[in-house]
Structure 1
């Protein structure tokens, strides 16, 4: 177990049982997580209408906690370890996992919320790259978890924000996963997509196995996941318990924040201003990726991700989404290249398995 911090990214290496991994994660970030929770209840007071309280959120937290405990008991144990290691209440540790679900979704969105693309083919390495667009100024709490579960040879590199067990990442079998927020359907107690991604990285060796696992998870909210292994790239959209898969094997795919599958497009709840942003970013991602050579390196991808409209600048409003990180993953080599904050201003850090 070890933790180092460089240029705003804390790199936490943890191995052992789920509880031990969670405890190492919590201990490494005990001070920052306590400060984050004390900042308007994990900054939710800055983002939600009316000041939320932990007491008021407890019924929702309990419902999600029960669903995760039933579907993914190992990750429930890891959350318990996180609470112990950080010296926070278990309900606070669960709050950190559930912030996005507890916020719900608003139809008034005008910024960004991640632009993602992936490519496979015979002339270059498979790659999955994306911007991470979030509100709440979460680039102040970026970590990379390097996880080795006891009893498994598989290892995972996971990007995390403020105590999350998962967000995006790559594993040692050669599977990379990114994500986009899409808005639709009814959000209900279940497995948050961030935890689902972590479970897939811990459990799946390739895209085919990941899809089978994902089909059995009771996801809490709408999302699109981008998956890439050595030979295949695909995105899978989730809406109200249903999944739709679009793939390219080999080929190129991009996704932003509106549903692309025709079965789900009529249910999209994105307002017209946010949809226009999503369409511009989708076009930029598709055209930019097509212009990159097949053997493009990480810095070539970052040059694309750092360009507006893919990069969403800081407008000085904690409630507005902005680009808080950019990631380029090479699943065949188990590499995560990461730029924290605004990718046009930060330098690349490289993490490998």
Structure 2
């Protein structure tokens, strides 16, 4: 019997200038933000032996970097803190948790490997049944994210309005905007990732959703002084799609373009000349199997419907490290990961299909954004 997950993500709707929409976000997501802070306090203690005061001190290093990159985003984070009744460095710590985890884990003898997953794809119009540009992924992460994830809908006048699925308190993750830009992402881990000061990963994700085209988003990410390695999959309603594999150095960008009308990605570098050693692939070689499996699923159908894509994201081949990931009961509870959500976005139609929980059992919901009026 097919069982349906009863999970549903709360929706937060905000508007206005940066500080005000941040304050609205903080008020509406207060409980989720505080749960996020408690969860990451436990995560950092487990992975690095750091207390929260130490985490906040490291997060504070990024404030001037974010302010230099985008003062509006720093103002928005401070607004989130104000609305949630927490300290600004708490919200900064959430938005730099990836950078801090790399810095912290490298200082603890025998620290467990940092958990990162995700499997993503993009389709050009001739590969989709609707003849539109489609982009999507499974987002896999630590189990507490199932309780803190929030769908953030932002309406504004200072850039494109957007919708993004986030852990409460984060600026952005996977999402799309009214200009027709879609964003998916996969964490990459190279031997150059040390938590160095630079523009944080989640700030760059938000910068992509602030962009008027996928090309513009790719340029923002490419020219930024990035703190970490990461993969950014971008597409827009012009039929353009590109995948950026990045490392934290000036020349650390490689662009992957569609092959047979599609791009697929997991958590390893496909451009091996970009880094010295792929630490994720060494620690978790199942990333190669996930990439193979999602690519085979897409290749099996010449014109892919949303139902076909839902099936691809529910794939259990190579369980427990499958595209649709279930918690591995053999590892420590703090290290267990699972698919937190499946996301499929038709950026041409500004439509998001969202499964809260594992796609094999989750109920898919559909949300719409109004297209941004084109300037004559």
TM-score by length of 2: 0.85
Residues 149-175 of structure 1 deviation map (CA, whole Å, 9 limit, x = unaligned): 2344x2111111121111111011111
- Contact residue 232 and residue 248 of structure 1 kept, 8 A: no
> Displacement, 1:300?
2.4
Paired position in structure 1 for 2:372: none
- Contact residue 116 and residue 178 of structure 1 kept, 8 A: yes
Match of 2:261 among 248, 251, 272: 251
Match of 2:100 among 99, 102, 116: 102
**Which is further off, 63-72 or 75-84?**
63-72
CA distance in 2, matches of 1:33, 1:235: 31
Match runs of 1:61-76 below 5 Å: 61-76=59-74
Q: Indicate how the Cα distance of structure 1 residues 98 and 289 shifts in structure 2: closer, same or farther if over 3 A, else same.
A: same
Residues 136-158 of structure 1 deviation map (CA, whole Å, 9 limit, x = unaligned): 42111111111122344x21111
CA distance in 2, matches of 1:168, 1:328: 10
**Which is further off, 322-331 or 103-112?**
103-112
**Which is further off, 31-40 or 206-215?**
31-40
1:144 partner SS: strand
> Displacement, 1:58?
3.3
1:127 aligns with 2:134: yes
> Displacement, 1:284?
0.5
CA distance in 2, matches of 1:151, 1:67: 21
Paired position in structure 2 for 1:115: 119
Paired position in structure 2 for 1:351: 367
More strand by share: 1
Paired position in structure 2 for 1:303: 311
1:338 aligns with 2:348: no
Paired position in structure 1 for 2:373: none
CA distance in 1, matches of 2:270, 2:10: 35
Q: Indicate how the Cα distance of structure 1 residues 16 and 129 shifts in structure 2: closer, same or farther if over 3 A, else same.
A: same
Q: Indicate how the Cα distance of structure 1 residues 283 and 111 shifts in structure 2: closer, same or farther if over 3 A, else same.
A: farther
CA distance in 2, matches of 1:209, 1:255: 21
**Which is further off, 306-315 or 117-126?**
117-126
Point out where structure 2 has 5 or more consecutive residues left out of the alignment.
1-5, 317-321, 370-376
> Displacement, 1:295?
4.4
1:279 aligns with 2:288: yes
- Contact residue 98 and residue 201 of structure 2 kept, 8 A: no
CA distance in 1, matches of 2:114, 2:157: 44
CA distance in 1, matches of 2:293, 2:203: 29
Paired position in structure 2 for 1:3: none
1:59 aligns with 2:57: yes
CA distance in 2, matches of 1:108, 1:37: 21
Paired position in structure 2 for 1:155: 161
> Displacement, 1:110?
9.7
Point out where structure 1 has 5 or more consecutive residues left out of the alignment.
1-5
Match runs of 1:218-257 below 5 Å: 218-230=225-237, 231-241=239-249, 242-248=252-258, 251-257=261-267
CA distance in 2, matches of 1:14, 1:112: 29
